[in-house]
């Protein structure tokens, strides 16, 4: 259940982008950290 806690923190940090990540995460079941890294990179640009 730790991933859910992290999810909430990320939502506050990144915003709407996290919502998209959550959908992908549930859909593909990828590693959350991996998905997050991709989002952070996209957000940086």
pLDDT by 10-residue block (mean), the chain, 45 residues = 61 66 63 72 69
Domain regions of the chain by residue span: 2-44
Q: What pLDDT, on the 0 to 100 scale, is given for residue 26?
A: 65
Name the DSSP letter for residue 3.
Answer: H
User: Which residue, 44, 39, 41, is CA-closest to 7?
Assistant: 39
Q: What pLDDT, on the 0 to 100 scale, is given for residue 9?
A: 63
Dihedral Cα 9, 6, 28, 14, nearest 10 deg:
20
Q: What pLDDT, on the 0 to 100 scale, is given for residue 39?
A: 75
């Amino acid at each position: 259940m730790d991933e859910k806690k992290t999810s909430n923190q990320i939502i506050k940090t990144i915003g709407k982008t996290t919502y998209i990540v959550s959908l992908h995460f549930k859909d593909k079941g990828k590693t959350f950290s991996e998905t997050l890294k991709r989002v952070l990179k996209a957000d940086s640009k």
